Structure 1
Amino acid sequence: MRIKTTNGIRRLSLGNARNIAFWVVLFLLILALFNLFSGPGSTMQSREISYSEFVEAVESGNVSNVTLDGEHVRFRQEDGTDYVTIKPSDAEITQLLIANDVSVRAEQQQQSGFQTFLMSLLPFLLLIGVWIYFMNRMQGGGKGGAMGFGKSKAKMLTEKHGRVTFDDVAGIDEAKEELEEIVEFLRNPQKFSRLGGKIPKGALLEGPPGTGKTLLARAIAGEAGVPFFTISGSDFVEMFVGVGASRVRDMFEQAKKNAPCIVFIDEIDAVGRHRGAGYGGGNDEREQTLNQLLVEMDGFEANEGVIIIAATNRKDVLDPALLRPGRFDRQVTVGNPDIKGREKILGVHARKTPLGPDVDLRIIARGTPGFSGADLANLVNEAALGAARVGRRFVTMIDFEQAKDKIMMGAERRSMVMTAEQKEMTAYHEAGHALVGIKLPKCDPVYKATIIPRGGALGMVMSLPEIDRLNMFKDECHQRLAMTMAGKAAEILKYGPDSVSNGPAGDIMQASALARAMVLRWGMSDKVGNIDYSEAAEGYQGNTAGFSVSANTKELIEEEVQRFIQDGYESASKIIKENEVEFERLAQGLLEYETLTGEEIKRVMNGDPPVPPADQADKPDSGATTSVTAIPKAKANKRPPSEGGLEPEPSV
């Protein structure tokens, strides 16, 4: 437990004093209002009559004694009833009472001088109470209130909120090694200062979404045992001018009081973009906030013991002044994990999940290339939910396979009504993709083919790379184009050019993107040459930052893109024609079984049943579908984008 500093105690005492003063003033106001409206106690219980009735009662002898209280006259008649009346200012009531032998007793007025004074001060006390209330709100008593614009929205996390250490972070060992040194600085600064080393002022974590940047920052705070302030970049910017800069100053003031500590700014690109790029110029509120952040990180005043850690997915849009040494001394790239990292991440997320004896996390890791840490956490969660849905006591490999298919291909839409013609065309379309993918050696191995609608597709063929892909080669790209265009080629060969559907729209989109990348960015076209035309293409589409190219060059680029796609289509058509028997067997197998794995596809193409008879006898019958898909003997990894998703027909 951390001990509060003297400044913190003084601030707490001032806040308590304001609160006490506010409640005292409120109590006095309530007391004054009560006395004002309550009046004398007997007045509230006495019956009021007119003065003439009172005189008549005195003269008739029905009044035995009278109490005079200023302008009030209280008396009791013979029947025991109490009455009260108000005496006129010019009435000689004393002489009247003495003349009729009435006992007279005079009392001092119930309202004291203090009460009279208090009632005169009531409006002023009310204004003072309102003023104290708003001052309390402005001084931090309500950061989220209307007067708390300039206060920082940073939240301080301590160990009681859930301590995270480096043991909870897996799959990004290189990033952990770079950040472990910051932990050593916070734990033992003398170790480095005796050699002239200075504690880093900031570390920028850059990488795709879901790779664990926020988790890394929390792990640093958990390992070092220091306070951890977290805030989003968008929390600084408001519609009021100067609010963002004020919040930056307040955040650093809080951090200095709790030093050594860590301040984590998530999505810093919301406030740290290039200055001068917007329409507001130098007076833009976001730029003022960025300027204040730059000054606080490395200005005249030193921020000893305050380390800034920021995370972003877009390092390229940040201002250069923010990235220079002295502000963000460490720039750590947190990328998607490799196969070893994915296995470790799966182990971390599966700690609280009971796994079946058939679960092999390494096989799952090999089948999930491109998955981030968040994707793998979602995979384990979906597998656990699927196992619980069917009433299992632990999670099996089948649950992981089904969860992976759901995440990467979408949920099955078995309730979708398809005619026999639509189902048959889908089967031949996907059979074309699978056949060409198997026949071309540079294509990724086919993992699964299905004609069950998933997501927005009526059918799908998924491929798995053997290893994590780092490079893309020219011959591999051409073969992938052939596999992508194989669905349309299969439809035309089976039904004729006039009966082709709009199903290949997704294939054409994928093929066009790949072919344009080959020509515009990767220099794989001999006619276009080794020039990056991607900026020119963006400028042609409306981006003024792109440079201009001649009309002949544009025409040449389009011709090369069209040639690459057409070559892929012709190559796919040739392969399907040469393997017509296997193509027909595979299409009929998909119509019968709906879903086939890679090994099952090869057996069906050879004319064998998808599952050997011995395995078929041991295979449990779920009764939910005619599919005979077994647990894949996975030897490959999964690539997130699918090959050849057949899009549904548009509704009329």
Structure 2
Amino acid sequence: MPTFYKLQLALKNTYVRLMLGVLAALGIGLATYFGGDVEQVAIPLVRSQNIAEITALAGQRARLEYLLVAKPLSEAPRYIFKFKDAAQLHVVKVPSTSHLSLEREILLRNGIPYAIAKDDFLASHKAVLQDDADAGPVAASAAFLKRHAFDITVVALLLFALKFGIPGMGMSTTVITPDQLKGSMDDLIGMDDIKQEVLHLEDMIRHRSVYRSHNIDKPFNVMLTGPAGTGKTKLAGYLAKKLNLPLIQASGSALESGYIGGGSKALNALYRKACARGNCIIFLDEAQTLFMPRGRGEKKWEDDTANTLLGLLDGVKSDQGSGVIWVVASNFDDASSQMDEAMLRRFSVKINFRLPNKAERAELLRSFLGRKQEGCVAWDRLDLNQVADITANLSPALLESVVDRASMIAIQDKAVIDTDLMFRAFERSTIGLTDRATTAEKALQRERIALHELGHFFMQIDPYLRQGLSLAEVKEKSHLLKISTESVSKLNALGYVLSAGDDLSLRTLEEMERDVIQLYGGVAAEELFYGARGISVGSQNDIQKATAMLDMMVNRLSMYSRSKIDYSQFKQDGNGEHTLRQVEAKADELYSYTLGAIGDYKAVIASLKTELLERYVLSKDAIFALLEERMEIDMPGGFTALALAEAA
């Protein structure tokens, strides 16, 4: 039994005991009231256990009519006194240990007259010797509640939290009517494949009778998957507005309230709210945890929430939920993570979002920039195709953040948005803050960083130069944006090479080897200028990335073997040693090539290093301009000689 469940039982038992105590107090009071002798002298009593009332009598002697002490030898003597100007009879119950001190220090020392209460007085005033429980049902109950008010309040709050959840910490839902929803399907720029799926879904919902003729009568539940920031949440709103249906929005992460069965209760409450509205859409965002396979844990209640959702998605509880459409969004799909098969079958429509391509990125950027007032964007100096090139693999949400960053920079610099400013915004959004002061006084480190980053650059363009391409053609193919010797606190780096992304994800063996060679370019440049013992720890990140790529090429893709198998699935030590030797051999081969190739650029690297140290940053245009000026000076025969040597 879980600890929290034990706590629930303990709290319930405590609550039962307190309620029994209240009933007992009422029972005693009723028994006394109806079965005992009625008090013969009806004088209003004021009961207390406050000893201070006795000590205060020293200053109230003139008002005192009489003072009696009842049962002075008992465990709880009573001090009974009455004032001349009041009708109440005061009864103060004191411990026997305090009575002796009060009698000596207060009554005798201050000369306060008192007497022992006689039996006839006690017989006519029976109430003075009764406790609160014997004083009648109302008084007994009031006294009990007064003594245990804090305990009862705490238990009541705990039981309320167990049943209904703590206010503000339960599942938060928002009901949005169609007139409150903003935007339309036209705001989903590009994504024609996704729009077609939505139009198909709309047709299914509007013409259910047609689908019933094909014996399709289940609810059209919808699953939206894909990377974050691609528009899944917006699409749910667009769909609700297009169908003119209210949208009930909730978060999957808020389902669990912290106690057993909380998720099921929250889902059922959400379902009841939807059924009360008739036709509507329930949008459950960030619900990937509900799609994990059930039965993974040993505790049977861990799958309660998912089981409840399965039943609700089928609409089997009643016919009243036939108009409810479930739209569930997740950043993961069944291709990237394991999901419960039964849950996946509940969704007749699955729409997978993707990242925008280059043309769609350009249109998204145009749309975001077009919302700004006239004069904020210099359209004649803005090349959206270039900006789309450098923003590969960015989601629409990240593209919008780049545009917002560009606006902030434009406001600070009192400038307008153009291509250069968009590049700066992209760099600021992806790289972060850069700082020259950190490296300004570190001449030797800056020199090493400059050589390291230039090594990366030259090994990036090396294949094109050896093919005999002109510098203009090489510049066109190069993804370089800039080389910098400024520090980046976000990356914990003292320099960096900023390159544009690439939409292609299906890389070949040749392309992956080029990536490894480019990564080795930095450490090879350091060895070229400082020797094998002069390599710094700044190459650690490059070596880690190169190792991961080589591991994938050798172990997972088996690119260097005729046997196309995934060696990583074999756990035998023999296979591990075999593939490790293959990785080492290929790493040695590629690094040896890198070291030999970068030696051809030693003179031009040394020349560009001086410019980079002076300017801190060299843009792509500046680097290729310098290469155009110095290729004949630093490399006799120019870069064409490399191609001739390679061909030979």
TM-score by length of 2: 0.67
Q: Does 1:306 align with 2:324?
A: yes
Q: CA deviation at 1:264?
A: 1.4
Q: Which residue of 2 aligns with 1:453?
A: 487
Q: CA deviation at 1:314?
A: 2.6
Q: CA deviation at 1:226?
A: 1.4
Which structure is higher in RCO with an 8 Å CA cutoff and minimum separation 6? Answer: 1
Q: Equivalences for 1:397-416 in 2 at 5 Å? A: 397-416=419-438
Asked if the contact 1:51–1:86 (Cα under 8 Å) also holds between the matched residues in 2, the reply is: no
Q: Deviations over 1:312-351 (max 9, x none)?
A: 2232232110001xx2111111111111221232233334
Q: Which residue of 1 aligns with 2:289?
A: 270
**Please, which of 489, 492, 498 is the counterpart of residue 462 of structure 1?**
498
Q: Which residue of 1 aligns with 2:574?
A: 552
Asked if the contact 1:157–1:229 (Cα under 8 Å) also holds between the matched residues in 2, the reply is: yes
Q: CA deviation at 1:434?
A: 0.9
* Aligned partner of residue 552 in structure 1, secondary structure: helix
- CA 1:139/1:199 → structure 2, altered by over 3 Å: closer, same or farther? farther
Asked if the contact 2:261–2:301 (Cα under 8 Å) also holds between the matched residues in 1, the reply is: no
Q: CA deviation at 1:208?
A: 1.8
Q: Equivalences for 1:336-355 in 2 at 5 Å? A: 336-353=355-372, 354-355=376-377
Q: Distance in 2 between matches of 1:157 and 1:139?
A: 29
Asked if the contact 1:431–1:583 (Cα under 8 Å) also holds between the matched residues in 2, the reply is: yes
Which deviates more, 345-354 or 394-403?
A: 345-354
Q: Which residue of 2 aligns with 1:321?
A: 342
**Please, which of 517, 524, 539 is the counterpart of residue 504 of structure 1?**
539
Q: Mind listing any 5+ residue stretches in structure 2 that lack a counterpart?
A: 1-45, 47-60, 66-81, 90-135, 468-476, 632-648
* Aligned partner of residue 414 in structure 2, secondary structure: coil
Asked if the contact 1:172–1:337 (Cα under 8 Å) also holds between the matched residues in 2, the reply is: yes
Q: Which residue of 2 aligns with 1:434?
A: 457
Q: Which residue of 2 aligns with 1:255?
A: 274
* Aligned partner of residue 332 in structure 1, secondary structure: strand
Asked if the contact 1:433–1:486 (Cα under 8 Å) also holds between the matched residues in 2, the reply is: yes
Q: Residue 479 of structure 1 aligns to which amino acid in structure 2? A: R
Q: Residue 493 of structure 2 aligns to which amino acid in structure 1? A: A
Q: Distance in 2 between matches of 1:136 and 1:592?
A: 70
Q: CA deviation at 1:123?
A: 5.1
**Please, which of 231, 247, 251 is the counterpart of residue 228 of structure 1?**
247
* Aligned partner of residue 270 in structure 2, secondary structure: helix
Q: Distance in 2 between matches of 1:87 and 1:154?
A: 58
Q: Which residue of 1 aligns with 2:408?
A: 385
Q: Residue 369 of structure 2 aligns to which amino acid in structure 1? A: A
Q: Equivalences for 1:86-125 in 2 at 5 Å? A: 86=87
Q: CA deviation at 1:496?
A: 0.8
Asked if the contact 1:483–1:568 (Cα under 8 Å) also holds between the matched residues in 2, the reply is: no
Q: CA deviation at 1:254?
A: 1.0
Q: Equivalences for 1:482-631 in 2 at 5 Å? A: 482-526=517-561, 529-534=563-568, 536=569, 548-607=570-629
Q: Distance in 2 between matches of 1:559 and 1:270?
A: 41
* Aligned partner of residue 506 in structure 2, secondary structure: coil
* Aligned partner of residue 335 in structure 1, secondary structure: coil
Q: Distance in 2 between matches of 1:50 and 1:334?
A: 89
Q: Does 1:289 align with 2:305?
A: yes
Q: Which residue of 2 aligns with 1:479?
A: 514
- CA 1:520/1:210 → structure 2, altered by over 3 Å: closer, same or farther? farther
CA RMSD of aligned residues (A): 3.9
Q: Mind listing any 5+ residue stretches in structure 1 that lack a counterpart?
A: 1-36, 38-47, 53-71, 74-82, 89-116, 537-547, 610-652
Question: What is the count of residue pairs matched by the alignment?
Answer: 489
Q: Does 1:372 align with 2:374?
A: no
Q: Residue 496 of structure 2 aligns to which amino acid in structure 1? A: M
Asked if the contact 1:158–1:228 (Cα under 8 Å) also holds between the matched residues in 2, the reply is: yes
Q: CA deviation at 1:583?
A: 2.0
Q: Distance in 1 between matches of 2:503 and 2:286?
A: 28
* Aligned partner of residue 344 in structure 1, secondary structure: helix
Q: CA deviation at 1:550?
A: 2.4
Q: Which residue of 2 aligns with 1:638?
A: none
Q: Distance in 2 between matches of 1:492 and 1:255?
A: 68
Q: CA deviation at 1:250?
A: 1.4
Q: Does 1:362 align with 2:423?
A: no
Asked if the contact 1:428–1:490 (Cα under 8 Å) also holds between the matched residues in 2, the reply is: yes
* Aligned partner of residue 237 in structure 2, secondary structure: helix
Asked if the contact 1:479–1:568 (Cα under 8 Å) also holds between the matched residues in 2, the reply is: no
* Aligned partner of residue 410 in structure 2, secondary structure: helix
Q: Distance in 2 between matches of 1:406 and 1:460?
A: 13
Q: Distance in 1 between matches of 2:390 and 2:239?
A: 31
Q: Distance in 2 between matches of 1:155 and 1:564?
A: 57
- CA 1:276/1:135 → structure 2, altered by over 3 Å: closer, same or farther? same
TM-score by length of 1: 0.67
Q: Does 1:168 align with 2:180?
A: no
- CA 1:119/1:607 → structure 2, altered by over 3 Å: closer, same or farther? same
* Aligned partner of residue 326 in structure 2, secondary structure: strand
Q: Distance in 2 between matches of 1:85 and 1:579?
A: 112
Q: Deviations over 1:347-383 (max 9, x none)?
A: 3333433322322333311221111112111111111
- CA 1:419/1:253 → structure 2, altered by over 3 Å: closer, same or farther? same
Asked if the contact 1:585–1:605 (Cα under 8 Å) also holds between the matched residues in 2, the reply is: no
